[in-house]
Each structure stands twice: as structure tokens, then as C-alpha cells.
Amino acid sequence: MSTQTEPESETEIEESEAAATETESAVESPGDRRRREKGERAVEEEAKRKEAEETLDEEDTVQIKVFRYDPEVEGKQEPRFDDFHVPFFKGMTVLDALIYARDTYDSSLTFRHSCRQAVCGSDALFINGSQRLACQTQIADLDSETVRVEPLPHQDVVKDLVVDMEHFYDQMDSVEPYFDADELPDGDETQRQTPENREKVKMSTRCIWCGACMSSCNIAADDNQYLGPAAINMAYRFAMDEREGEIRKEDRIKIIEQEHGVWRCQTQFSCTEVCPKDIPLTEHIQELKREAVKSNLKFW
Amino acid sequence: MSHSYDRGFIEDFGRWREFSAGMWAWIFHKFTGWVLIGYLFTHIAVLSTATASDPAVYTDTLQGLEALVIVRFLEVGLLAVAVFHILNGVRLLFVDLGVGLEAQDRSFYASLVLTGAITVASVPTFVGGVLA
Amino acid sequence: MAEHYSSFQRGGTRWLLQRVTAVFLIGVLAFHFFLLHFVNHASEITFAGTAVRMSQVGYFATMWLFLVTATFHGVNGVYNALINQGLEGTRKNAVKWLLVLASLLLVAQGTRVAIAMTNLV
Amino acid sequence: MYEHDVIVVGAGGAGLRAAIAAHEEGADVALVTKLHPVRSHTGAAEGGINAALHEEDSWELHAYDTMKGSDYLADAPAVDTFAQDAPEEVINLEHWGMPFSREEDGTVSQRPFGGLSFARTTYAGAETGHHMLHTMYQQVVKRGIEVYDEWYVTNLAVTDHDDPEDRQCHGVVAYEIATGEIEGFRANDGVILATGGPGQAFDHTTNAIANTGDGAAMAYRAGVPMEDMEMIQFHPTTLPSTGVLISEGVRGEGGILYNDEGERLMFEYGYANNAGELASRDVVARAELTEVNNGRGIEDEYVDLDMRHLGEERIVDRLENILHLAEDFEGVDGLEEPMPVKPGQHYAMGGVECDENGETCIDGLYAAGETACVSLHGANRLGGNALPELLVFGARAGHHAAGKDMKDAEIQTGYSAKSEDGDVEPPVEPGAVGASGEDAAADGAVVDADEVLEHTIERERERVEALMEGDGLNHAEVRSEVQKSMTATVNVFREEEGIKEALRDIRRARERYEDVSVSDPSRTYNTDLIHTIETRNVLDVAEAIALGALARREFRGAHWRAEYQERRDEDWIKHTMLAWNDGTPELYYKPVLLESQWKEYEPKERSY
Ligand SMILES: Cc1cc2nc3c(=O)[nH]c(=O)nc-3n(C[C@H](O)[C@H](O)[C@H](O)COP(=O)(O)OP(=O)(O)OC[C@H]3O[C@@H](n4cnc5c(N)ncnc54)[C@H](O)[C@@H]3O)c2cc1C
Ligand code: HEM
Ligand code: SF4
Ligand code: F3S
Ligand code: FES
């Protein structure tokens, strides 16, 4: 390290490496050795894996059935379901099981994930027939022998459990999803907002862009241009924020009133049911419908 | 992006098993609405017999139809359809007003049950005439 | 005001009218069903009976409004459903006018029938 | 090849703020991020953002608290700049629509936080980070700033001058996850690294799976020194199965810690006879682990945090999200049973050495956020000081990179700031296996911007090709071994032997990594490949942490050493620095600046 001068440390490495190669090369070349070791290891790994799977006790394992698809890889172009047996522990989530399956059995198993705590919105999946966050879903709560995991319905599948989110992002962007006050106080002053008003928009600000709601909505499935519950909720978040002011609110109402806006919602409630952040989406959509009617009636 | 990857059965047919109350309510409401508007057109068509110069045509047509058992049963069906559409319509009106949203699934089930009850209760009145 | 008025979106109006007509229909439809199936059994209906009822101005007006609102409500409902199904462009326009025509015919014929039922003519 | 004035790598709080700042200066700026911005881990922060907003409060007090909290290992110019800029930054956020919690009169609420002499923590419910992240992303959308999301930056395009301080950064090379395409991003004015924390060096952490220390590792290998890497904060209450954080709020409201024998451990064994459960994070974390080590842990792993006695009403009212967390991530109903908790890695105080303007010793390369070490937190970060750091230093880096006229930094960077040679004897040779400067050719031949980029792109293509072609180990094994080893030895308790063990394990892991390959053959969304590359970064960062821990022979802030049970101010008010040195790391020291142009700080005992 730093106490040593550089050349010294370098020679040391060279020396030790040279020594290592010398003893080995009597028998085989380093390349051969590496390949042999690789081969041996592969066999070992395989054996370990088999053993791991076999020793798994029926009782404390769960079976996950995972959707597989890859447009490029032969054998995966036809969608299929793969079964994995995963050792169960208390508190295990579906995401834990997926990670285990990937790291132990098949490293090509592909899914998005990051925070493991329901804040990043990466891992909304179709689990046992419902849109849920894998990280937020306790396997024990599913009450079923096998857990079926699929990518979100009504979105293009990129690979395995990964869907294309572009359309969802586009819909979010189309409602001008940013705070844009009519006027702002001077530089070092904050705006005022009543606690009641904050309370009113609170739930709507919790959205983590997971796309579960959009995927669950039959209307959004049929009508690709429908803004969808998340985007409408986003519009609600700003339209109802008293800090933005009346003029902006009027504009926002116009956005959600468009052809494929709020009127498309048929109050099916499935969005509200699947939202992992418990946002009362239908309620917000309905309130915006009334706001729209009100703002139109004003001018009669 | 209009469609997701075709997952065959799961996507096309299997989904209904995963529908929740709100989705069923929507489907039923749609169905009943269409039946009702369809009925309205036929209804007016039948009543058009009233414009005939002889009033008896009207009376005969209506009573002739009413004499058919099948028509009586269809009427029961119509009642069921109308009652459900009304009850669920009321439910939807409340939803539009933002009232009782937490109970939306229960109110749907209540609509179903009530529809069933009213329909069964009215069977004697409807079918009575022809069978008796 | 004028420019606000011009930016008015029909989506909202139709939505609102659908609800308003629904509220009206609740009462009238229930009344209609009750009167013609429970109070007067459908099988006992005669032209004479109908004519008596229809000759009352109040009843006549109610029934005529029933016809108009139900037509609007029903046809508008169908139209919405079709739009939600993805109807667009020229086909949407065609369907729209077709529905409008059908409604007008229905209301016209309904009105003719209703008038025939009264002993006014 | 894409080209922009400023390239920001990472779109968490720091990256977003930097991008907005550069945009404010009129620069053409792009965010390149491996996760969509709203998926960044800033969204997980719960507690709040410190800023001296109140008239009775002052930035000097905030600076004083921060310095004291750092256990006098922070640099005064960083601390002062931070405390001065924080209020304006928080007001900015408010103007951008951040849904702060409010008082009756409509002003922003502030609450007290550990180690602060004034209630200066602004917050938005228990989801402050989520709101901060989203509020800033919204402003990025509003400004039309280009975002390349799901682009994984694999390396920096840096000239290959011999001396890192002569090097210049001309951009980055990134891999588009969806398509497998490798592209260059040319930065005319600067590259800002804002890639977040290195939590994945440990196997039990509150950090996201994506927090693999990529930025730090890339900068390190490009020649920027790592600073105070041993300074890792451990949070005492995280859920055992996932590492999800259970906020300090539970103990604040009166939650109690019990060991396996049902004893109230904080008092029973005298860990903190006054403050009890509310003692500072490091004290509680050590207490819990001592219990486990002495056989009084539950299932030999954790202790119980009980809040049932608070009553359902109070719990639902104030700690509702905790109920959800315990239920969702541990399957435990906090109203019915105690919640299992154990210490988990939480935050890295150290990181990429940079100055108050975010600049590193490499020209055109900046760092901001958790990945950076301006040296604001020193040996211990105060709760609520990380989020404002993202704002303050993110903004400064963005402004500076975009060419705003700013005062010269007081903090010196680079090897030339060295004051003392290091004196550690690692048990094995650290650094790259067969170090030959694989990450920088170091012959001064490639200096032209385009050439540098082309060269780097070529190297990355080769690297990816090699990883894809091989038929070897799964990186996951290598990664998890290192994580386990780090958590076992370079944790809350650190002993010389343990740290050496970790270094040996890391060495072994480095050797095994040579044989790692990617088994998924697809170019489409190949996360196997991404994770494999990340693992390399995890190794470099973990090693740096362990080396720092071995070097620092004292107990300061978060860094506890079995052999040295006190703070040794005469010898150790200095930063541990680590230069990659083209593959053969070198440890050295640099002085801590306890004096800024405004004030001078006198080390005092850190007691609360
Ligand atoms: C559970 C938890 C609670 C916390 N609570 C608080 C609190 O109450 N108050 C407080 O002040 N602090 C808190 N902190 C600390 C604070 O939240 C973090 O230090 C801070 O959010 C880090 O922000 P960042 O912008 O540096 O990084 P991150 O938000 O982690 O963002 C990193 C970004 O870099 C990108 N990235 C990474 N690698 C690459 C690559 N190779 N190529 C391209 N992009 C890349 C990622 O996509 C991401 O966008 C908390 C931390 C945790 C974990
Ligand atoms: C009696 C009380 C009635 C009530 C309360 C009622 C209520 C409603 C409501 C609220 C809707 C709108 C649903 C939506 O857009 O989400 C609707 C739709 C509809 N109604 Fe009614 N309605 C009533 C009677 C009728 C009658 C008499 C008819 C037939 C003429 C009718 C036909 C329809 C049709 C066709 C739809 C559209 C269904 C669809 O979405 O496809 N309704 N009704
Ligand atoms: S509204 Fe809910 S379900 Fe929809 S994207 Fe946001 S968090 Fe997900
Ligand atoms: S599921 Fe769809 S129909 Fe409306 S209530 Fe939700 S958006
Ligand atoms: S992993 Fe972040 S929401 Fe599930």
C-alpha cells in the first residue's frame, strides 16, 4: 500500500503471479487450467443446484409459475410459464421469491425492481390474477399453493415480466404534470397553503407511477388514448392545489375534459382496488367530472 | 401499443374470472341499458297499432300478446332488467356525486339481490293471468 | 364570456344530461311499470282504458316527456358505449347521425301514437 | 453518439437538482439514468429536510449542529455553504409545488430531529423523499430537459494523462438496457455523477437494490480519490427479512426494544441509562448487536420493537405507515405483536472526493449527492441532512458545470492535497486483479475528446462482449459472498481481524469475478449483464470501505473499532483518502478543514 513505493508493489504482484504460473504450468497451461476449473465448477454448480432443489422440503417451499418470453432467444419466443421451487421463510414477498429464483436457478429471469419497499413503483406485476407490487405482496397472504406471476396486462411485453412503460409515461406527460402557479411570492417567501387543502391533495400526491391502475382498467385497455386513472389523478393533484390559482385550474380542467379524458371513465373501480398506495382514484376522477360540469355551467 | 403481447387464453377469455364488482356492474348496466332501449323501440312499434283506424286492433294486439306465456316470461325478464338498471343507475348516480364510494361493491351486490327479490316477488302478478 | 362559451365541451353536457334524465326516469319508469303491470294488469289493457289515461293532460305530458327523455338517455347511452368501444372519425359521425335520425323517428312516431291514443283527434 | 453541454448521471434528488440548475444557466443538459427518475431511491426517504427557515433559527446554528454531529470530521467550508444555501433551496422546492406538511396559518411545518438544536426539519408526511423526488422530476418535465432513462452508464470517458489531476472528462459511455446498444454521450461542459449510495456492498441495507455505488466506482477507477469510505451509518431499526426502515418515530413515540428474554435491553444492560431507546442511532445499533452476540437475540438475529402499549388509536394516528410496512414487508401486525428489528446499513458519509462546487480533481467531472463526499457529514450524518445536501450541492454542481461564475472552492481536491502517507498493512493486495491499468491506459496518448469517447466506447463494447461470450460463474454468488462478509465484519462492530477477513474475502471475490460471465444471451433488457457489471462496482466500493476501516484506528462517529475505544483527535482529525492508482490502491490522508471563511470550529465531545 501507500507505505510501499509503487514499483515495489508491482514487482511483488508479478513475482507471486509468476510463482503461481510456474508450479502450475508444469502440468498444464494457465488457459487450460482456467477452462478445466470452469468446467469442474459448472458440474459442481449443477450438482449443488439439483441438491438444493431436491432437499427442499415440500412443506416449506413455494412454487412460482413465471411468464417467460424473449423476442430474441430461441425457445423463448413462444411465451411459456416456468416453474420454480423456492424455499419459503416468514415474511417472504413475491419479489423475494423472484430474486431467489433468478439468483439460484436462472439468471436470465428478467423483471424490474429496486427499492423493495413500495416506493419506486418498478415491480407492478400481475400476480395471481391481480395487479400488485411484487415487493409488497406477502406470499403467505396469497393463500395459494402456487403463485402465478405475469407481466402487467394490456402493455407490450418487452421480455419476461418487463413491459413497455412508454405509453404510460406519455399519458402522464400529457396532463402537464408539473406545478405551475399563476403567481409566486418573492424569492425568500414560501407560498401559503391551508392544512385542509394539503389534506385534500395528499392522497393524490402519493402516486409512484407503477402503472397498476392503468393496466387494470378495461377502458384503458380498449381505448389507447384514454388518459387513464393515474394521469387523471395527476391532473387532480394540481387542479385541486390551491397554490396554483384559478387560471391554471381552468386550463387543467380543459385538459382532462378532452375527448379521451375523464368522460371515458366508466367508474369500474378496479383502478382504485389495485392501487398499492390506496389512492381513491375513482373518487378523484368523479370529482373532476363534477368540476368540469361546474366550470362549464358557470358560463351558461 | 394498442395491444399487449397476445397471451391467448389468459388475455382473451380468462380475464373475466378476475373481474371485480365494479367491472361486473358496468357490464350488467350496459347490457340492461341496451335491452331497455331495444325494448323502447319495439314498444313504440307495438303501440303504433293505436294509430290504426280501428281501436280494436290495438286492444287485440296487446291482449293477444299478453295471452302468450312466452311474452309473460319475457316481461318478467324485462322487469328484472329494468329493476337492475334502475337500482344500479341509482348506485351510479351516487358514485357520480362522490357519495358512499367505499360501499360501491356492496351496493352493487345489494342491487343484484334486490333485483332478484323484486323479480321473484312479481312473478305471480305477471304470469298469473295466463297460467291460472 | 363568448370565447369561454365556444370552448365548451359537449362531453360534459351529454354526461350531465345522461344523469339528469336518469333521475327523471327513475320516478317515471317506476310509475309506468307499477301502473301498467300491477295496478292495471297488462293483459287487461284495452284501447279505451289507454285512451282514458292519455286524455288527461298531466298524464299525457308525463308520458311524452318519458318518451323523449328515455329516447335521449337510451340513444345517448348507446352512442357513449360505441365511442368507448373505439368508434372514431367518419364512422363515428355516421353512427351519430344515424342515431339522431332513429331518435327523431322514434319520438315522432311515439308522438303520433300518443296523440292517437287521446280522444283529441 | 449523443452530445450535450452537461451530462448528469443519475436522476435521484441530486441528479435532478443538478440538471435543473444547469438548465437555469442556459446549458443544454441531459439526464442519463439506469432507472426512470421517479424510481430513484431518494423516494424512500421518510423523515425530512433540514433548513434554518425560522426567524429564530440561523444557518450558523445549523452549521454548528452539523459539525458537531459529524464528530469533527466534516470540512467547515462544506458545512457552512450547506447551511447557508439550504433555506433558499427548500423555498425553491416549495415554489415548485412540494406538498410540505403545513401549519394552521399555511406556513411550512418543521419538526425536531435528533442532534438538532432547533426544530428545523421540514417534511411532507412520512414520505418526504418521495415528494421531493417527484416535485423535482416534474420541474424537469416542465423544462423539457432530456432524460435518457434505463440507460446504464458503464464508464467515464476520461483522458489518459498520467496524473489524474491532468485528466479531463469528456463524457460517458452508456448501455441502453432495452436494446443492448452501447453509445457515447459527449459532454461539452461537464459530467455530474449523482448515482446515489453504495448500500449493496452490504447484505442488509435500507438501500435499494440499484444502489451499487456505480458512480463512486467509476470515478475511483478514473482517478478521483475516495474519501472517508469507512464512515457508514447503520440504522438500528430495520426489518430483518428485507432491510426496510422502521422510522425513528416509533421509538420517539415510546416504542420499546426487548431481547429474547423479554428484557428492556437498553436499560437492563445499561447501554443508555438516560435516553434508553432514544439514544443516538449508533448507540442503539451497537446495543442490539451486543444482545444478539451475547445469545439474547431472537432467533439469534434480531430484537423486538414493541409499540402495542401505545394503543391502537395513537398508533393509527401517528404511525400508520409503520403498520403498513411491518405488515407488507414482514407479515407482522404491529398492533398485535412486536416488530422484529435489527441494524442495517443506511447511509455512506464518504464517497467521491469533491469540493463545495461539486468539482473533482478531474477537469469536467463533478459529483453530488450520496455518491459524493464534499465532506459535509464527516463521521456521522444527522437525520434530515442528506436531502438538503442533494439540493444544495446538486444545484452548485449544476451551476458550476454550466459555467456560472462562482467563488473559488476552499476545499482542495486530488492527490496533491495529501498531507500524510497512509499506514495500513492490508493482509492481501487490494485493487484490480493483475493490475495493469486496465481502466486507464495512462500513456497520455488519448486526449482528444472524440478520440477519448471512441476509445472508451470500444473498450466497453469489448467488455460487454467478453462478459456475454464467457461461460462461467454467476455474478450473484460473488456479490452475495462479499455482501455477507461485509455485514459480518465491517458492520457496526469492527475488529482488525474481521476487517482483514473482509479484505481477504474481497480479494477472493475479485479473483472469482475474473471468471464471471453472463448466461442470458439476449440483447433485450439483459439485467443479468447489468447486474454483473454492477457487481464489479460493488467489489471496488466494498474494498474501499474495508480499507478505510482498517486504516482508521480510533472510534469516531459511526466508526467503532474494538481495539481503539476513543476518539483520538491529536492523530485522527484527517480524512482517509484512497487513490485507485490505476489498479493498485494507495491510502493517504488529507487534513480536515475546521475553519472556513466565516468561522472556526473547536472539537468538543459529542454528547447529547
Ligand atoms: C430508507 C431511507 C430513508 C432516508 N431518510 C432520509 C431522511 O429522512 N432525510 C434525509 O435527509 N435523508 C434520508 N435518507 C438519505 C437520502 O435519502 C439519500 O442519501 C439520498 O436520497 C440519495 O440521493 P441521490 O440523489 O444521491 O441518489 P439516488 O436517489 O439513489 O439516485 C441515484 C440515481 O443514480 C442512477 N444511477 C445509479 N447508477 C447509475 C449508472 N451506472 N448509470 C446511470 N444511472 C445510474 C439511478 O438510476 C438513480 O436515478 C434516507 C435514505 C434511506 C435509504
Ligand atoms: C329508470 C331509471 C334509469 C336510471 C336511473 C338510469 C341510469 C343510467 C345511468 C346513470 C347511465 C349511465 C351509465 C354510465 O354512463 O356510466 C345509464 C346508461 C344507459 N341507460 Fe339508463 N337509466 C334509467 C332508465 C333507462 C331506460 C328507460 C333506458 C332505455 C330506454 C335506459 C337505457 C340506457 C342505456 C342504453 C344506457 C347506456 C348503457 C351503456 O353504457 O352501454 N336507461 N342509465
Ligand atoms: S395511481 Fe396508484 S396504481 Fe396508479 S400508477 Fe399511481 S400508484 Fe400506481
Ligand atoms: S378502472 Fe377505469 S373506468 Fe374509471 S374508475 Fe378506474 S378509470
Ligand atoms: S421494488 Fe420498488 S416498488 Fe417494489
Task: State the CATH number of the domain containing residue D328.
Answer: 3.90.700.10
The pLDDT of residue A53 is: 60
> Given a cut of 70, is residue C1 above it in pLDDT?
no
- pLDDT class of A58 with cuts at 50, 70, 90: low
pLDDT in tens, D199-225: 999 999 999 999 999 999 999 999 999
Mean pLDDT of D418-447: 77
Q: Return the DSSP state at D337.
A: S
Number of Cβ within a 10 Å radius of residue D441: 15
Does residue C19 carry a pLDDT above 70? yes
Q: Which of A87-91, C58-62, D277-281 has the lowest mean pLDDT?
A: D277-281
Shared domain for D210 and D82, answered yes or no, is yes
CATH code of B50's domain: 1.20.1300.10
C50 pLDDT more than 80:
yes
* A244: amino acid identity, one letter: E
Q: Which atom of ligand 5 is nearest to the CA of D39?
A: 2
| Whether residues D324 and D356 fall in one domain | no
pLDDT of amino acid D116: 87
> What integer is the mean pLDDT of C48-52?
85
pLDDT of A251 reads 92
At D176 the pLDDT is 98
For residue D472, pLDDT beyond 90: no
**For A191, which DSSP code?**
P
pLDDT band at A293 (very low <50, low <70, confident <90, very high): confident
- What does each C-alpha distance from D350 to D70, D73, D228 come to in angstroms? 12, 11, 5
The pLDDT of residue B12 is: 45
Which amino acid would we find at residue B101? L
Instruction: Name the residue range of residue D188's domain.
Output: 2-232+346-410
For position B71, what pLDDT does the model report? 86
Residue C97 lies in a domain: yes
The yes-or-no verdict on residue D438 having pLDDT over 80 is no
**CATH code for the domain of C53:** 1.20.1300
Distance linking the first and last C-alpha atoms of chain B: 60
Residue D604 lies in a domain: no
Task: Decide if C3 is inside a domain.
Answer: no
Same domain, D82 and D11: yes
The answer to whether D590 and D417 are in contact (CB under 8 A) is: yes
Asked whether A281 and A268 are in contact (CB, 8 A), the reply is no
D327 DSSP 8-state letter: H
Q: Which domain does C40 fall in, by range?
A: 11-116
- Domain containing B91 equals 19-127
Distances in Å between the Cα of D411 and the Cα atoms of A106, C45, D86, D168 are 48, 99, 19, 19
Identify the residue with better confidence: D4 or B16.
D4
- Which residues have C-beta atoms less than 6 Å from ligand 1? D 9-15, 32-35, 40-42, 44-48, 128-129, 152-153, 194-197, 206-207, 210-211, 214-215, 245, 347, 369-371, 383-387, 390
- Tell if the CB–CB gap between B7 and A150 is shorter than 8 Å: yes
Instruction: Compute the average pLDDT of residues C83-101.
Output: 86
| D20 and D158 belong to one structural domain | yes
DSSP label of D606: -
Please say if the pLDDT value at position A6 is more than 90: no
**pLDDT band, residue A17 (cuts 50/70/90):** very low
Cβ contacts of B2 on chain A, cutoff 8 Å = 224
Percent share of chain A, pLDDT over 90? 63
Is the pLDDT at C43 greater than 60? The verdict is yes
Q: Tell whether B45 lies on the interface with A, counting CB pairs under 8 A.
A: no
CA angle A25, A31, A37 (to 5 degrees): 95
Q: Which is the closest atom of ligand 1 to the Cα of D534?
A: 41
pLDDT at position A7 is 41
Q: Give the ipTM.
A: 0.90
Single out the residue of C57, C62, C79 nearest to residue C24, CA to CA.
C62
User: Is the CATH code 3.30.9.10 the one for domain A58-163?
Assistant: no
What does the pLDDT average to over D304-320? Answer: 89
Total number of domains constituting chain D: 3
**Confidence (pLDDT) at A5:** 40
A171 reaches B (C-beta below 8 A):
no
Per-domain residue ranges of chain A:
58-163, 166-298
Does domain A166-298 fall under CATH 3.40.47.10? My reply is no
Any chains having at least 3 CB pairs less than 8 A from chain D are A
> CA–CA separation, D143 vs D141, rounded Å?
5
Q: Is the pLDDT of residue A67 over 70?
A: yes
10 Å Cβ neighbour count for A7? 8
Question: How many domains is chain C partitioned into structurally?
Answer: 1
Amino acid at C45: I
Share of chain A above pLDDT 70, in %: 79
Q: Is A96 a pocket residue for ligand 5 (Cβ < 6 Å)?
A: no
Query: Has residue D548 got a pLDDT over 90?
Result: yes
Confidence label for A218 from pLDDT (cuts 50, 70 and 90): confident
Residue-level pLDDT at A84: 96
User: If you average pLDDT over residues B63-92, what whole number do you get?
Assistant: 89
- Flag whether residue B58 sits within 8 Å of chain C, measured between CB atoms: yes
Asked whether residue B114 is domain-assigned, the answer is yes
Whether residue D591 is contained in a domain is answered as: no
Other beta carbons within 10 Å of D303: 30
User: Which residues numbered 260-279 in A keep a CB inside 8 Å of some CB on C?
Assistant: 261, 263-264, 266
